């Protein structure tokens, strides 16, 4: 079976217009909190959509359908956290007249990809009185940037060059270069003058004190905008496309799904990159709690009815998959691998090895999804995450499936996944939007 390239002169203008808005979103929203805020602002003037904010880090959007809610929901779920590097709670130290910040990486990063690049700091600090202070240093005009340093090749032979690539940059060496000028003082008792100067700047310019780092969520993310890639501008390169490309396309699909028959949900989870744990992840009860609230607002209060309605629901787990990289084709079984430019990628199952830790979609539901896509001229392809026994990965699909609903994975193929600069084909982004919209509109 062969799949068709999705590029066409007929949809070129539409594809590029859609992806320009997506590129701007990707440039602006670099943390899960910023994504939640972006989407809340996007839907605030839409009376047909109700937003449920979970601790500013997860979001559920609901649109009412014309059918009885007892027939279940159509759900598209994605995650809005992304691999990154977090600042520790007691991070500031001085060494060799330089000030650095201690960090702890989040999710499955290749640590060597994050050094010697300009970085920004995004996040929040919560003051003692409960005031939440937003932080964005590095992406505002005129801001300084930060970086992780690396050893020069001339001196790397023993300390780095002969090591396994996963050990070349140790996690404890990912300390952020943060300042260098010493405090001007005649008091000889003052120690760590560079650190004191840095703390002075933080206090005077940003109203940040050293103790504020304890109650903070500060994320180190790649600095700068998402960019068009290729001489033909056919691709988008930027940070956080896993999985904000599926989050963005799902929300846009919900906005544009007019007069739906089924009741619709877009669920945007946090913490997927570290196992979906915590009270904002897919393993928590947030989806059950919010759906229970929605059902009560629609006159359904019996817990047994709630379970029945969840079991009747259908869901797409919107998550990215690996696109075939011409330089690394050997990790794929090419007949069952996603190629850039061939549309949304359907994955019947994810997991690893012998399909461990996965939702394996029922064949009947796979056939239904394909029929929906075909009827709406959505370009699609099938994909597995690499060869059997090559590696693998998981999504939130299995956490939705525990309610008894049919679930399938479908999302955008990426190159350089989990790197600071992931690549997506614009036509695949657009077809992901079209696929989600077709699903949400279907009966």
What is the Cα–Cα distance from 268 to 36, expressed in whole angstroms?
Answer: 9
pLDDT at 351: 85
Domain assignment of residue 227, yes or no: no
Average the pLDDT over 78-104 and give the result: 98
Q: Is residue 330 scored above 90 in pLDDT?
A: yes
Lowest model confidence (mean pLDDT) among 123-132, 149-158, 250-259, 300-309 = 300-309
Contact (Cβ atoms closer than 8 angstroms) between residue 102 and residue 88 = yes
Q: Which of 177, 195, 222 is the last residue before a domain boundary?
A: 222
Is it the case that residue 354 has pLDDT exceeding 90?
no
The model's pTM is: 0.96
Average pLDDT over residues 84-108: 98
Range of the domain at 436: 12-82+239-441
What is the pairing mode between strands 147-148 and 235-238? unpaired
Residues 400, 285 within the same domain: yes
- The answer to whether the CB of 259 falls within 8 A of the CB of 66 is yes
Q: Is residue 321 part of a domain?
A: yes
Q: What is the pLDDT, as a whole number, of residue 197?
A: 97
Using the predicted structure, report yes or no on whether residue 232 has a pLDDT greater than 90.
yes
Closest CA to 412 of 13, 22, 62: 22
Claim to verify: residue 159 and residue 63 sit in the same structural domain: no
The pLDDT, as a whole number, for residue 126 is 97
One domain for residues 195 and 107: yes
In this structure, are 166 and 20 located in the same domain? no
Contact 218, 121 (CB under 8 A): yes
User: According to the model, what pLDDT value does residue 211 have?
Assistant: 97
Tell whether 1 is covered by a domain.
no
Per-residue confidence (pLDDT) for residue 304, from 0 to 100? 82
Do residues 271 and 344 share a domain? yes
Does 128 lie in the same domain as 61? Answer: no
Please say which residue of 222, 250, 282 terminates a domain: 222
Contact 291/310 with Cβ under 8 angstroms?
yes
Kindly state whether residues 59 and 98 are assigned to the same domain. no
Decide: 124 and 34 in contact? Cβ < 8 Å: no
Using pLDDT thresholds of 50, 70 and 90, give the confidence band for residue 114: very high
Instruction: Between 190 and 245, name the one with better pLDDT.
Output: 245
Q: Which residues, in sequence order, are bridge partners of residue 413?
A: 321
The tens digit of pLDDT for each residue in 195-218 reads 999 999 999 999 999 999 999 999
The CATH number of whichever domain residue 366 belongs to comes to 3.40.630.10
Residues 283 and 381 in one domain: yes
Do 390 and 282 share a domain, yes or no? yes
Residue 25 located in a structural domain? yes
Tokens of 92: 């500031």
Give the pLDDT score at 300. 84
Q: Which of 143-152, 293-302, 373-382 has the lowest mean pLDDT?
A: 293-302
User: What per-residue confidence (pLDDT) applies to 356?
Assistant: 87
Predicted local distance difference test score (pLDDT) of residue 190? 85
Q: What is the CATH number of the domain that holds 121?
A: 2.30.250.10
Q: How are the residues of the chain apportioned to helix, strand and coil, as percentages rounded to the nearest 5?
A: 35, 25, 40
**pLDDT given for residue 329 in this prediction:** 96
Do 67 and 97 sit in the same domain of this protein? Answer: no
Q: Same structural domain for residues 124 and 208?
A: yes
Q: Report yes or no on 311 lying in a domain.
A: yes
Per the structure, the count of domains in the chain is: 2
**Residue 230 is assigned to a structural domain of this protein:** no
144 & 277 share domain? no
Instruction: Summarize the confidence of residues 321-345 as an average pLDDT.
Output: 97
Weakest mean pLDDT among 16-25, 179-188, 233-242 = 179-188
- How much is the pLDDT for 298? 85
7 inside domain: no
- Domain termination site, one of 161, 193, 222: 222
User: Percentage of residues in the chain with pLDDT exceeding 70?
Assistant: 100
Average pLDDT over residues 323-349: 97
In a domain, 169, yes or no: yes
274-295 confidence digits (pLDDT tens): 999 999 999 999 999 999 999 9
């Amino acid at each position: 079976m062969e799949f068709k390239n999705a590029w066409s002169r007929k949809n070129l203008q539409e594809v590029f217009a859609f992806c320009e808005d997506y590129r701007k979103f990707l440039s602006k929203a670099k943390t899960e909190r910023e994504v939640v805020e972006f989407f809340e602002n996007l839907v605030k003037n839409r009376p047909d959509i109700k937003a449920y904010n979970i601790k500013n880090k997860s979001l559920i959007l609901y649109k009412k359908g014309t059918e009885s809610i007892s027939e279940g929901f159509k759900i598209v779920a994605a995650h809005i956290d992304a691999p990154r590097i977090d600042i520790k709670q007691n991070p500031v130290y001085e060494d060799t007249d330089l000030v650095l910040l201690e960090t702890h990486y989040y999710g499955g990063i290749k640590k060597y990809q994050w050094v010697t690049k300009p970085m920004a700091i995004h996040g929040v600090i919560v003051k003692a009185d409960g005031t939440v202070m937003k932080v964005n240093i590095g992406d505002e005009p005129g801001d300084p940037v930060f970086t992780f340093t690396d050893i020069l090749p001339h001196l790397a032979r023993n300390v780095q060059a002969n090591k396994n690539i996963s050990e070349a940059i140790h996690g404890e060496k990912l300390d952020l270069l943060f300042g260098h000028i010493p405090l001007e003082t005649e008091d000889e008792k003052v120690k760590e003058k560079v650190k004191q100067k840095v703390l002075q700047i933080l206090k005077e310019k940003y109203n940040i004190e050293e103790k504020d780092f304890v109650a903070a969520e500060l994320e180190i993310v790649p600095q700068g905008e998402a960019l068009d890639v290729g001489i033909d501008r056919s691709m988008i390169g930027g940070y956080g496309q896993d999985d904000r490309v599926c989050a963005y396309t799902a929300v846009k699909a919900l906005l544009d799904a007019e007069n739906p028959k089924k009741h619709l949900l877009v669920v945007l989870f946090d913490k997927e990159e570290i196992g979906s744990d915590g009270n904002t992840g897919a393993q928590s009860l947030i989806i059950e709690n919010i759906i229970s609230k929605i059902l009560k607002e629609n006159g359904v209060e019996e817990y047994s009815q709630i379970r029945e309605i969840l079991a009747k629901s259908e869901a797409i787990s919107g998550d990215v998959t690996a696109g075939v990289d011409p330089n690394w084709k050997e990790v794929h079984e090419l007949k069952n691998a996603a190629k850039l430019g061939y549309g949304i990628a359907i994955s019947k199952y994810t997991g690893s090895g012998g399909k461990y830790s996965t939702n394996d979609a029922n064949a009947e539901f796979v056939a239904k999804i394909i029929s929906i896509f075909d009827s709406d001229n959505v370009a699609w392809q099938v994909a597995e995450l690499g060869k059997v026994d090559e590696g693998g990965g998981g999504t939130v699909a299995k956490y939705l499936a525990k309610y008894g609903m049919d679930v399938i994975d479908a999302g955008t193929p990426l190159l350089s996944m989990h790197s600071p600069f992931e690549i997506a084909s614009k036509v695949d982004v657009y077809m992901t939007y079209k696929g989600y919209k077709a699903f949400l509109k279907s009966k």
